[in-house]
Amino acid sequence: MPVKGLGLRTKSMLALLLACVLALLPAGLLGWKILEGIRQHFGEAYASNLTELKRQTILAPVLRDLALSRRLAGSLLTRQWLIDEDDLDKKRLFFSEAEAYRQDLGDHAYFVANAQSQYFYANDDAQAVSDQVRYVLERAKADDSWFFSTLARHEDYNINVNYDAHLKVTRVWLNVLVRDSGGLAIGVAGAGIDLTRFLADFLGSEEVGVTPMIINRSGAIQAHRDQSLIATNQAGSEARPEQLINNQLDDDGRARLKTAMLAAEATPGRVQVFYAQLGELRQLLALAYIPELKWHVLTAVDLQAAQVLDENWLQAAMIALVVLVGVLLLAFGYAVEKLLLQPVRKLQLSALAMGRGEYDISLPPAGHDELGDLSRVFGSMVRQIRDNTANLEEKVQLRTQALEAANRDMQRAHRQINDSIDYASLIQRAILPDQQLKTYLGKHHFVLWRPRDVVGGDFYVFRQEEACYLLGVIDCAGHGVPGALMTMLARSALDHAMSAVGINRPAAILSHTDQAVRGMLQHCDLPRAIATNMDAGLVVVDRLRGTLRYAGAKITLYWSDGQTVGEIKGGRRALGDRRPGEYVDSELTLRPGVTYYLATDGFLDQAGGELGYGFGNTRFAQVLLQQACLPMAEQAVAFDQVLAAYQGTYPQRDDITILSFRFD
């Protein structure tokens, strides 16, 4: 059943849709590039502004606490008491002044440690205000290394994120050196900012794709959402590898970070922006330096995840574009239907009616456009077809009558030819010595005779004189009727030769037959394309002497006892060939249990198998080994089955004849 194709309406809509896609595709790619550029531009601005905001967020409160810590460390009362720690009046005055500082500090927490006694004092809101020693600092303890490291430094202060095991708090400590009038470090004083509050103020709300952090000048992380990455006690020990920002960057990213840090330290008021591979993502990094704290504020932005742009307008634009394309498709579809499809559909209906033989049809009104021209031409074509059809029907009727008469004559001639060929087949079979072979050889022979057509060019002979038998096969050139006619000529020449030279000399019979055939045809003006040669093989069996004499023209005599296969090849030239051939008698001793075979080339050349090759001598010899010991009737069936199995679906190429016999 034929499948109905797409209609014009569908094709036109698909064409418009394809045009829209082809137009929108480059526009979409260009828009996407522009959008990515906008996203990158706004992403850089967003990262820069956010970094500056974070910088200002931590700068004001930390600077305020740092300024108060430096004033506390530089106070005269602080220095006097640390020099004479056992003086109770100086101690009372110091703690009275320190309490005033504590009230002004952001987390209401301060500390002071004496370099000489290594006593540590601290007060905050978590416990009652006290002027007693909280604990004694020891140089051997890793938790106290910050104190001794601060004393050993030349800088006036440092900022350290550390967990105080004695106070059981984690804070951002502002460590300020207390120096005497000679500049000698006599202690450390400062304030502590609660790390949780500090991180909450710094990080703010968790924005998707945005990771703010603080790193010091060596790259150790001082603030991060993941507190396990924060490097604590930087004043006294080294950070772990995962707490260094450099270990999270690739080689190119580390080089870019180093360059950005140097630039930020040189110009603290500017934010440095660059791209780097941070972890598994390529991100936009913005860096700003706080010289007062010796910290860098670093913001990492994943432009693919962060909400840098408000995408609501993009969604609205996409919806508007889809609606616009839909409206265009509907409008185009209506216009195509009205202006094109309706007239074309009317023409289609008219064409279908004309295909059914209905020529009285109505056509759409002819306008002044291409469809109008088509309608006028179609109407003219309908009139011409109607007139031509009427004339054609009359001619067809006359031609049909003449064709029927010619067909009857041809059928009559064909029957005559077939009858002649069938009669020729009967005549050809009648000259074959089947009855004589049955009479003299009986079950000791079999014949496989299979013409390619009704009649063929192969035949076999048998003649008996006293105790001698002559058996032979002849393969005349050609098939069908020409081959059958050649068999008549060949049989006549062969009979004449046997009568002239007897049956005991097969080579002489072949030579005499060759001369007879040449004599019959020498006065005939035959075309070169017509072949008149023939292959032959003759065997004379002398029962009294127990010998077999053979001569052949391009036909081989085979024999086998089931263990070995032997052969005698015939002469190289066929009978009636362009040049006369030489034929020689070959004599063998008859052996019991040995079967002899004469075969024309039709069997050996038959195409078959997987590749369509000829049956061939090798395969034929294998069949002889397998079948030679079987009774002759079974051998006939076996040869027929082997040939049919090998031939398969391939057509028969040539006439096939096998004459086989044995004598016990």
pLDDT digits 0-9 by tens, 109-161: 999 999 999 999 999 888 888 899 999 999 888 888 888 888 888 788 888 77
For the ranges 160-164, 282-286, 454-458, 496-500, the one whose mean pLDDT is highest: 496-500
Beta carbons of 459 and 471 less than 8 angstroms apart: no
Query: What are the structure tokens assigned to 14, written together?
Result: 């698909």
pLDDT at 206: 67
Cα separation, 154 vs 158, in Å, equals 10
Is 50 exceeded by the pLDDT of residue 3?
no
Confidence of residue 359 (pLDDT cuts 50, 70, 90): low
Q: Which of 191-200, 326-335, 366-375 has the lowest mean pLDDT?
A: 366-375
Is 50 exceeded by the pLDDT of residue 561?
yes
Q: Which of 14-18, 373-377, 388-392 has the lowest mean pLDDT?
A: 373-377
Please tell me whether residues 301 and 439 are part of one structural domain: no
Is 368 among the domain residues? no
Which of 293, 308, 323 terminates a domain? The answer is 308
Is 70 exceeded by the pLDDT of residue 630?
yes
pLDDT at 549: 96
Confidence of residue 597 (pLDDT cuts 50, 70, 90): very high
Question: For residue 286, with 0-12 CB atoms within 10 Å meaning exposed, 13-18 middle and 19 or more buried, which class applies?
Answer: buried
Q: Could you tell me what percent of the chain has a pLDDT over 70?
A: 81
Mean pLDDT calculated for residue range 267-273: 86
pLDDT at 10: 73
Higher pLDDT, 2 or 24: 24
pLDDT at 95: 93
Is 80 exceeded by the pLDDT of residue 656?
yes
For the ranges 27-31, 115-119, 489-493, 526-530, the one whose mean pLDDT is highest: 115-119
Is 80 exceeded by the pLDDT of residue 399?
yes
Higher pLDDT, 381 or 615: 615
Q: Which of 62-66, 159-163, 565-569 has the lowest mean pLDDT?
A: 159-163
Is 362 among the domain residues? no
Cα separation, 287 vs 299, in Å, equals 7
Mean pLDDT calculated for residue range 373-377: 69
What CATH number corresponds to the domain at position 610?
Answer: 3.60.40.10
Q: What single DSSP character describes residue 86?
A: T
Higher pLDDT, 61 or 237: 61
Is 70 exceeded by the pLDDT of residue 620?
yes
Is 60 exceeded by the pLDDT of residue 402?
yes
Is 341 among the domain residues? no
pLDDT at 244: 86
Q: Which of 53-57, 287-291, 451-455, 545-549 has the lowest mean pLDDT?
A: 53-57
Side by side, which strands form the sheet with 169-179? 135-136, 119-123, 110-114, 185-194, 169-179, 157-164
pLDDT at 401: 86
Which of 279, 308, 337 terminates a domain? The answer is 308
pLDDT at 235: 55
Q: Could you tell me what percent of the chain has a pLDDT over 90?
A: 34
Cα separation, 506 vs 549, in Å, equals 7
Higher pLDDT, 195 or 645: 645
Contacts 24+ apart (CB under 8 A), 163-169: 163/232, 163/233, 164/192, 166/120, 166/134, 166/135, 167/122, 167/134, 169/124, 169/126, 169/194
Closest by alpha carbon to 510, among 494, 499, 490?
Answer: 494
pLDDT at 475: 92
Is 60 exceeded by the pLDDT of residue 329?
yes
Is 90 exceeded by the pLDDT of residue 585?
yes
Mean pLDDT calculated for residue range 636-651: 93
Cβ within 8 Å of residue 324, ≥6 positions away: none
Cα separation, 471 vs 170, in Å, equals 123
If one counts the domains in the chain, the total is 2
Is 300 among the domain residues? yes
Beta carbons of 292 and 59 less than 8 angstroms apart: yes
CB count in 10 Å sphere of residue 198? 23
pLDDT at 2: 47
Higher pLDDT, 128 or 341: 128
Is 515 among the domain residues? yes
Closest by alpha carbon to 9, among 342, 347, 346, 327?
Answer: 342
Is 301 among the domain residues? yes
Is 289 among the domain residues? yes
What CATH number corresponds to the domain at position 270?
Answer: 3.30.450.20
pLDDT at 253: 85
Is 50 exceeded by the pLDDT of residue 522?
yes
| Domain extent at residue 164 | 18-308
**pLDDT digit string, tens, across residues 473-498:** 999 887 777 777 788 888 888 999 99
Mean pLDDT calculated for residue range 428-437: 87
Mean pLDDT calculated for residue range 500-529: 83
Which of 308, 331, 363 terminates a domain? The answer is 308
Classify residue 155 as left (phi > 0), alpha (psi -120 to 50) or beta: beta
Q: What single DSSP character describes residue 364?
A: P
Is 240 among the domain residues? yes
